[in-house]
Structure 1
Amino acid sequence: MIAWQAFLTNYRLWRRRWFYPLISLVVALSVCLSAPLPGRAFDLLPLLFQGVQIFQLSNISDRQEVDLGKEMNQQLSSEVRLYRNPEVNRYVEQIGRRLAASSDRPNLPYTFQVVQDDSINAFATLGGYVYVHTGLLKTADNEAELASVLAHEIGHIGGKHLVKQMQQKALESGLLTAAGLDRNTAVSIGMQLVRDLPRSRKNEFDADQRGLKTLSRTGYAQSGMVSFMNKLLGKGSTPAFLSTHPATGDRIDALKRAISSQPTNGRDGLDNSIYKTNTRALRS
């Protein structure tokens, strides 16, 4: 009798444990397969059976974002020429990691890479991947100015700006389905956006403010961000870094106001001679 009662109790617990999750899965699949889909038909079950990874960009996890960023990095590695000097790469990596630790998303496995290109440019993709051109490294006069650029790009990652752009692009193109995006489509859209370097006024202001906070928390001089932007505006032709970044003058004014309202004692990175020593390989 006792054994029979124990069996019934265990059976009820087992049924409760598996019944409701099973019902939830069936309902979720029914919604995905029956919901009206924009642009093109989407059959989820074949993709599931093929092992295709589906990304829901509206609530993408850090792990999924890093996974997409890794694949984008592999494609970019065949499109850009990475600068291989170990001293310069270690220096940039050191600055980047110092900033990332004080950023909005410090738990991402950040990767900082130097691109051998004389244009003054820097960009970020997904999951902590940041790229800076040798032309920009040569243009900066000190570590605080370089750190301000890296902090700005980290700010884009903190705000998930590229993820949001990818979602909007997929929606406009009719590629976003009720289930989300498959891996290849997501990477393709991300790469297209990175190549085109689209910049919205809202995202740039947000990345500036996030970057300034990161710069301040890390102890770098806030003036580095303003001085670097002013330096670029003073050049005869518009650098790539600014040509895709709208309203630069307004951004500088906004940064000055933010610095005035929340000044810090940070003075790190203003020694020009130390910076030149650490980047001397670029000038040899």
Structure 2
Amino acid sequence: MINLKGFWPNYRLWQRHCLYPLISVSVALTVCLSTPLSSIAIGFGDLIRIVPQVTQIFNLSNISDRQEVDLGQQMNQELQQEVRISRNSQLNSYVEQIGRRLAANSTRPNLSYTFQVVEDPAVNAFATAGGFLYLNTGLLKAAENEAEVASVLAHEMGHIEGKHLIKQMRQQAITSGVATVSGLDRSQAVGLGVQLALNLPRSRKDELDADKRGLNILTRSGYAQSAMVSFMKKLQGSSSVPTILSTHPGTDTRIKELQRQINNQPSNKNNGLDNPAYQARIRAFLQ
């Protein structure tokens, strides 16, 4: 028979020192696990500050629209250091007006397209990712009418539709050995994208695809189809090779393919061919 008289004080002591703390921990753990995640006060930004080694990774083989826009925004920030963006509000508004008309007829209307004018005499235009397009003042001066400007923007929009820069970045990253299984980190992706957008040409396949997509956008927007061909011919016949053609191979083939596409799907819309009105507007903007 157990002597409870001798055991009871020791049992109460054991409760205080061992059992009660254990019960307290169990209750606390239960409360934590049952608390909804929405009540946790630590935000994502706080988490990044707490865990500094966390970095943004872009999987270029399976990038979402949101990630692509994010990448384009970060590339745009980097490009601000590489090119001189025009602060001419009237000029930017005019180019954006043309761009918005085209964007409404893109196959990726969910993107929030951004159109920016670069103060550079070179006849050039380029696009990055997520809807970011850039058009040089030199190209605006070289164009004869609004439809020709629209044809260039539509072509660059075709590159965005086809995600050509993203594909080129992925291929370049694999070739150079900087890509990992998970993808590219932010700094690598941004730097590579800016380098490719500014300096390296697209492939012949990408150019033909962007021409086809661009002409479709131009046609659906009501601009004259002939403007895409006329602008390309004008640049091709110039004494010096414009930047836009030096980085865009196969011009003869591209013109023939565009003409074939126009013949197969003609349009009676001829908006944007008022040369005097455009020239007067551009002269006023670029005084």
TM-score by length of structure 1 reads 0.81
Kept after mapping to 2: 8 A contact 1:134/1:282: no
Q: Provide the secondary structure at the position in 2 that maps to 1:279.
A: helix
2:54 is the counterpart of 1:51: yes
After TM superposition, list the pairs within 5 Å mapping 1:191-202 onto structure 2: 191-202=194-205
**How much has 1:49 moved relative to structure 2?**
7.1
After TM superposition, list the pairs within 5 Å mapping 1:7-18 onto structure 2: none
Provide the C-alpha distance between the structure 1 equivalents of 2:112 and 2:152, rounded to a whole number of angstroms.
19
Matched with 2:109 is 106
**CA offsets, 1:83-132, max 9 Å, x none?**
22211110000001110110121110110000011110000001100000
Kept after mapping to 2: 8 A contact 1:138/1:282: no
After TM superposition, list the pairs within 5 Å mapping 1:39-78 onto structure 2: 50-78=53-81
Provide the C-alpha distance between the structure 1 equivalents of 2:189 and 2:112, rounded to a whole number of angstroms.
20
Matched with 1:250 is 253
Give the length in aligned residue pairs.
237
Matched with 2:10 is none
Equivalent position amino acid for 1:194 in 2: A
Q: Provide the secondary structure at the position in 1 that maps to 2:61.
A: helix
Matched with 2:183 is 180
Q: Which moved more, 1:271-280 or 1:59-68?
A: 271-280
Matched with 1:88 is 91
TM-score by length of structure 2 reads 0.80
Kept after mapping to 2: 8 A contact 1:85/1:281: no
Kept after mapping to 2: 8 A contact 1:141/1:272: yes
Kept after mapping to 2: 8 A contact 1:123/1:130: yes
Kept after mapping to 1: 8 A contact 2:151/2:214: yes
Q: Which moved more, 1:130-139 or 1:50-59?
A: 50-59
Query: What runs of 5+ residues in structure 1 fail to find an aligned partner?
Result: 1-47
Provide the C-alpha distance between the structure 2 equivalents of 1:72 and 1:283, rounded to a whole number of angstroms.
27
Matched with 1:124 is 127
Provide the C-alpha distance between the structure 2 equivalents of 1:233 and 1:149, rounded to a whole number of angstroms.
14
Query: What runs of 5+ residues in structure 2 fail to find an aligned partner?
Result: 1-50
Kept after mapping to 2: 8 A contact 1:148/1:215: yes
After TM superposition, list the pairs within 5 Å mapping 1:136-155 onto structure 2: 136-155=139-158
Q: Which moved more, 1:196-205 or 1:141-150?
A: 196-205
Moved over 6 A (4+): none
**How much has 1:161 moved relative to structure 2?**
0.2
Kept after mapping to 1: 8 A contact 2:224/2:272: yes
Provide the C-alpha distance between the structure 2 equivalents of 1:55 and 1:283, rounded to a whole number of angstroms.
39
Equivalent position amino acid for 1:129 in 2: F
Note closer, same or farther for the CA distance 1:130–1:276 as it changes in structure 2 (3 Å cut).
Answer: same
**CA offsets, 1:185-213, max 9 Å, x none?**
11121122123232210000000000000
Matched with 1:265 is 268
Equivalent position amino acid for 2:135 in 1: V
Provide the C-alpha distance between the structure 2 equivalents of 1:128 and 1:61, rounded to a whole number of angstroms.
13
Q: Provide the secondary structure at the position in 1 that maps to 2:224.
A: coil
